[in-house]
Chains A and B, each alone.
Chain A
Amino acid sequence: METLVKVENLIHKYDDKIVLDIEEFELNRGEVLALVGSNGAGKSTFLRILNLLEKPSRGTVKIFGVFPTNNKQKHILRRRMAMVFQEPLLFKSTVYNNVSYGLKMRKKNKDFIKNKVLETLEKFGISHLINRQAGTLSGGEAQRVSLARALVLEPEILLLDEPFAALDQPTREELRDDLYKIIRKENQTTLHVTHDRNEALVISDNVAVINEGEILQRGRTESVFNRPINEFVANFLGVETILYGKITSKRNGLCIVSINNQKLEVVSDLGEGEKVIACIRPENVTLLKYSLKAPLTSARNSFISTIKDISSYGLVYRVAMDCGFNLTSFITRESLDRLNLKIGEKIISSIKATSIHLLSRK
């Protein structure tokens, strides 16, 4: 696997304040990596450094194996990448002139530019906008143009700085799907910065979580989501239920964790006596009607719970319960109707021992 970006011992400061402190970072060819973190975590600064638009205070940034030392080298390397910002930042001209900009800067011949631009506009479904002035476009159209303007260059690395953040929900999802169809089809190496964990979950092979300038965890997306390395990552990635407890006993790899007065059975490598944080993702909590005789289930943990709150959460409903500790579950609209859930009623919630993730609390 070819490493396109390699960062080592990077420190970046603004007026003595450290904004980035990255020991190691790699981006490989063909990888789609989501860099997630909250606002001010240093994501955008990191992207600018990778695009060689900003010089880090210390450390090495190798792009395509080269550690550029002068502006000429930077310029050459920069021409093998492309970056898209949150705002479309279109030039005051037509869509055609915008999309052809980078190719013109590279002094490609006219016919080549024309064919390439037409092809890319087609891919993004904006061929009809070709002669429009950029200022007359809607937000979604403008961002499409901005993405086309970057992808027309066939960059070896595509850097996306929250390109959908300013768009409304339906536009965002439509554009996201269209963009990732292209990225997947063309095996485009992409580093996508976002503060939206759901977006990260949907688009990426791998995810890196950044906070206060440090990358806390990097790995395959589902493994990071399911096995967050610490409480911050867990919280950030949207593990809704986080419980503090202690492993009271362990047999056959099955830990008994006591939390308040309740006991959870969890599969974990951690040993007896350890203080732990138990992470339970809402989608892993199954609900059963209380009036039914409890059916046989492989779930080791079943609790009689009282429904505290039901709220709509996009396509799913979020049910908040009290079963000695607070627990949340995501269910579909259908399940909600079939179970006829109401606030204040009792219900049985069950969680598989394998879908609870234990973090050691040191």
Chain B
Amino acid sequence: MDIFIEGIKQAIQLLVELNREIFLIPWRSLLVSGPSVLISLLIGMPIGVIMGLAKFPGRKLLLSLIYTGMGFPPTVVGLFVALLLWRSGPLGYLSLLYSPTAMIIAQVIIATPIVAGLILAAMQQLDPKLQLQALSLGANKLQLLWTLIKEARITSLAAIMAAFGGIISEVGSAMIVGGNIKGKTRILTTAIVLFTRMGKFEKAIAVSIILLFLSFLANFALTYIQQRERIYWKH
């Protein structure tokens, strides 16, 4: 028990002192996970919307692929990305392995099915007539997509948060393709693993607190917006 209390005490001290090493880690986490979420939104959203609304051959297959992708173990994704990026691998000439870019690639692969799957579900909850109404009022295809995403914004927001939460707290692929290199690819989760291995529990706890705080912040923002919207949309 002492180690726990002592660890927390020292962790808080590190946080209060604004320890530079500790605070650069979440910043790098955001530098990786931020673009990852953005890119997976750009890819996943249109896929989700189209899959949720349109009928086309091969839809069922694609649907099962997305659902499988949603539950894909990040470590496996990391492994495959690493195999591709190894110098001896097919994309080796890019020399991307052990760089933030490699981590972003892996995280996009992890997050895109989550975004697509949740947006898809959100679209299917919308009144199908809403689509007709928007078209009838003169929306073109692109405007229609945007309108529907806006209509499903609460669930879409949940998709964004789920994707963000998934990748910010993910360690498997980050470790494999990032390499946990200090000052470059060392992010919150890999730092926690390292500090724990080194027996530097106070640092591990301090970083964990930041990670928890970030997750909390994301979920708090989501809940806040959801509650505010609920006032207007009782039904």
Could you list which residues of chain A lie within 8 angstroms of chain B, going by C-beta atoms?
A: 48, 51, 53, 71, 75, 78-79, 81-83, 85, 87, 89, 91-93, 101-102, 105-106, 133-136, 149-150, 153, 159
CB atoms of B151 and A53 under 8 A apart: no
* Separation of A153 and B139 alpha carbons in the complex (Å): 12
Can you show 10 pairs from A to B with CB atoms below 8 A apart?
Answer: A53-B132, A78-B136, A83-B132, A85-B132, A91-B150, A91-B151, A92-B150, A92-B153, A101-B134, A149-B137
CA distance A85 to B153 in the complex (A): 23
Q: Is the CB of B129 within 8 A of A89?
A: yes
* Contact yes or no, A133 B138, CB < 8 A: no
Let me know if B233 is at the binding interface, CB within 8 A.
Answer: yes
Is B2 in the interface zone, CB < 8 Å from A?
Answer: no
Contact A105 B140 (CB under 8 A): yes
Interface: B130 (CB within 8 A): yes
Determine the distance from Cα of A82 to Cα of B139 in the docked complex, in whole angstroms: 11
B143 contacts chain A at the CB level, 8 A cutoff? yes
Contact of A102 (CB < 8 Å), options: B127, B130, B138, B232: B138
Interface class of chain B by DSSP? helix
Q: Which residues of A contact B141 (CB under 8 A)?
A: 71
CB distance from A43 to the nearest CB of B (A): 15
Q: Which residues of A contact B24 (CB under 8 A)?
A: none
B234 near A85: Cβ-Cβ < 8 Å: no
Residues of B within 8 A of A135 (CB): 232-235
Give Cα A15–Cα B85 distance, bound, in whole angstroms: 50
Measured CB to CB, the residues of B under 8 A from A are 127, 129-130, 132-141, 143, 147, 150-151, 153, 229, 232-235
- Are B132 and A82 interface neighbours, CB within 8 A? no
Please state if A87 and B150 are interface contacts (CB–CB under 8 Å).
Answer: no
- B137 near A105 (CB under 8 angstroms)? yes
Chain B hits for A149, CB < 8 A: 137
Q: In whole angstroms, how far apart are the Cα atoms of A159 and B136 in the complex?
A: 10
Using A102-B138, A136-B232 as known contacts, list a sample of 10 further A-B pairs with CB atoms less than 8 Å apart, ordered by residue number in A.
A51-B136, A79-B138, A82-B137, A89-B133, A102-B137, A133-B232, A134-B232, A149-B137, A150-B137, A153-B137
Establish whether residues B133 and A105, one from each chain, have CB atoms under 8 Å apart when the complex forms.
no
- Measured CA separation A75–B144 after assembly (Å): 12
CB pair B133–A153 under 8 Å, yes or no, is no
Partner of A92, one of B133, B134, B137, B233: B233
Do A106 and B138 touch (CB < 8 A)?
yes
**A134 vs B139: C-alpha distance in the bound complex, in angstroms?**
19
Give the shortest distance, in Å, between A99 (CB) and chain B (any CB). 10
Hey, which chain B residues are within 8 Å of A85, CB to CB? 129, 132-133
CB distance from A52 to the nearest CB of B (A): 9
Instruction: Judge whether A83 and B153 touch: CB under 8 Å.
Output: no
Q: Which residues of A contact B229 (CB under 8 A)?
A: 92
| Nearest chain B residue, comparing its CB with the CB of A91 | B151
Q: Report the bound CA distance from A92 to B150 in whole Å.
A: 8
Other-chain residue from A83, A106, A134 in contact with B136 (beta carbon distance below 8 A): A83
Cα-based distance from A71 to B135 in the complex (angstroms): 12
Contacts of A102 in B (CB 8 A): 137-138
Closest residue of B by beta carbon distance from A53: B132
Residue of A nearest to B234 (CB): A135
B127 and A153 contact, CB distance less than 8 A:
no
A333–chain B nearest beta-carbon distance, Å:
40
Most buried by B among A89, A102, A136, A150: A89
In the assembled complex, the Cα of A82 lies from the Cα of B136 at a distance in Å of 6
CB atoms of B136 and A91 under 8 A apart = no
- Closest chain-B Cβ to A139's Cβ sits at a distance in Å of 12
Q: Which residues of B contact A136 (CB under 8 A)?
A: 232
Interchain CA distance A51-B137 in the complex, whole Å: 10
Complex Cα distance A105/B134, Å? 9
Inter-chain CA distance A106–B138, complex, in Å, is 7
Complex: chain A residue closest to B154, CB-CB: A92
Please, how many angstroms separate the alpha-carbon atoms of A144 and B139 in the complex?
21
**Contact assessment for B133 and A83 in the assembled complex, using a CB-CB cutoff below 8 Å:** yes
Of the candidates B127, B132, B150, the one whose C-beta lies within 8 Å of that of A48 is B132
Min Cβ gap A302→B in Å is 54
Do B136 and A92 touch across chains, with their CB atoms under 8 A apart? Answer: no
Minimum CB distance partner of A149 in chain B: B137
B140 touches A81 (CB 8 A): no
A311 to B234 Cα, complex, angstroms: 40
B138, B141, B150 pick with most chain A CB within 10 angstroms: B138
Q: How far is the CB of A229 from chain B (nearest CB, A)?
A: 32
**Whole-angstrom distance between the alpha carbons of A82 and B135 in the complex?**
9
Residue from the set B130, B136, B153 with the largest chain A CB neighbour count within 10 Å: B136
A228 to B147, CA, bound (A): 45
Report B-chain residues with C-beta under 8 Å of the C-beta of A105. Answer: 137-140, 143
Residues on A with C-beta less than 8 A from B135 are: 53, 78
Name A136's closest neighbour in chain B (CB-CB).
B232
* A145 smallest CB distance to B (angstroms): 12
Residues of A within 8 A of B139 (CB): 105
> CA of A136 to CA of B140 in the docked complex: distance in angstroms?
28
Given the interface pairs A53-B132, A135-B233, the reply to whether A87 lies near B127 with Cβ below 8 Å is yes
- Docked CA distance A89–B151 (Å): 11
* Closest Cβ–Cβ distance, residue A141 to chain B (whole Å): 14
Q: When A and B form their complex, which 4 residue pairs have the shortest distance between CB atoms, in order from nearest?
A: A83-B136, A102-B137, A133-B232, A135-B232
CA distance A259 to B213 in the complex (A): 88
The answer on a CB contact under 8 Å between A91 and B147 is yes
Q: Is the CB of B138 within 8 A of A92?
A: no
Complexed CA–CA distance, A142 and B135 (Å): 19
Write out the residue numbers on chain A whose beta carbons fall within 8 Å of the beta carbon of B233.
92, 135
